[in-house]
């Protein structure tokens, strides 16, 4: 089958229109399937299948026969479909382009990344966590601060506090449990 494709490609490169037609008819259903899986619209798929074959035939001389023609063609098809989706999603406005030929016109671009509600929620959450940590007994508070604020390892905390690692782990576990209870009561209040 690959040999047949190679022969058809050679004929097409020599200008044989029947070879182009045969390659198209042979691979069109598979190319359609590849593109449709990406774009999920039959009308768009038909357009992209045509574009795929136009691109493939325009660069047919660059096809290397050590690879399967179908794989090469499917890659072109997938790239056409992906490019279509990218173009469809990006409604870009060139920042270099002047509008209406005016050089002094300013363009305002919306900042969709700022969410005041989310920022306020995070601040409140941080405040709640800080308050909960501050209310812990000293022995639990210091291990939690060393572990989670200062990013200290269990060994480093044990050295700093001159205690066994097992005690550090137990206190961190107990501190986390106390924090969960405190934060749960704050959230339910």
CATH of the domain at 156: 1.10.10.10
Q: Is 75 in the same domain as 129?
A: no
**Residue 80: inside a domain:** yes
Taking the C-alpha atoms of residue 24 and residue 8, their distance in angstroms, rounded to an integer, is 11
Q: Is 59 in the same domain as 133?
A: no
**Residue 94: inside a domain:** no
Final residue in a domain of this structure, among 41, 69, 89: 89
Q: Is 84 in the same domain as 13?
A: yes
**Residue 112: inside a domain:** no
Q: Are 85 and 44 in contact (CB under 8 A)?
A: no
Taking the C-alpha atoms of residue 106 and residue 90, their distance in angstroms, rounded to an integer, is 21
Q: Is 83 in the same domain as 124?
A: no
Quick one: pLDDT at residue 45? 95
Q: For 82-114, how does the pLDDT look when each residue is reduced to its tens digit (9 = 90+)?
A: 999 988 876 555 555 555 555 555 556 666 666
Q: Report how many domains make up the chain.
A: 2
**Residue 106: inside a domain:** no
Q: Is 9 in the same domain as 84?
A: yes
Q: Are 131 and 123 in contact (CB under 8 A)?
A: no
pLDDT exceeds 60 at position 75 = yes
What range defines the domain where residue 22 resides?
A: 2-89
Q: Is 27 in the same domain as 63?
A: yes
**Residue 17: inside a domain:** yes
Q: For 126-181, how does the pLDDT look when each residue is reduced to its tens digit (9 = 90+)?
A: 667 788 888 889 999 999 889 888 888 999 999 999 999 999 999 999 999 988 88
- Residue 54 pLDDT class (50, 70, 90 cuts): very high
Q: Which residue has the higher pLDDT, 148 or 43?
A: 43
Q: Is 85 in the same domain as 10?
A: yes
Q: Is 123 in the same domain as 168?
A: yes
Tell me whether residue 13 is exposed, middle or buried, using C-beta atoms within 10 angstroms of its C-beta: 0 to 12, 13 to 18, 19 or more. middle
pLDDT exceeds 70 at position 13 = yes
pLDDT exceeds 90 at position 21 = yes
- Full-model pTM: 0.48
């Amino acid at each position: 089958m690959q040999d047949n494709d190679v022969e058809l490609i050679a004929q097409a490169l020599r200008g044989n229109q029947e070879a182009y037609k045969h390659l198209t008819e042979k691979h069109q259903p598979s190319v359609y399937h590849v593109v449709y899986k990406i774009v999920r619209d039959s009308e768009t798929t038909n357009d992209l299948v045509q574009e795929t074959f136009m691109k493939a035939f325009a660069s047919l001389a660059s096809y290397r026969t050590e690879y399967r023609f179908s794989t090469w063609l499917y890659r072109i098809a997938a790239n056409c479909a992906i490019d279509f989706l990218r173009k469809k999603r990006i409604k870009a406005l060139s920042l270099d382009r002047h509008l209406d030929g005016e050089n002094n016109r300013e363009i305002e671009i919306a900042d969709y990344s700022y969410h005041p509600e989310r920022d306020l929620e995070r601040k409140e959450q941080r405040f709640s966590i800080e308050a909960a940590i501050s209310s812990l007994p000293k022995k639990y508070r210091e291990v939690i601060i060393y572990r989670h604020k200062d990013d200290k390892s269990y060994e480093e905390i044990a050295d700093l506090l001159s205690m066994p690692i097992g005690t550090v782990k137990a206190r961190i576990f107990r501190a986390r449990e106390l924090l969960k209870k405190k934060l749960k009561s704050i959230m339910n209040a």
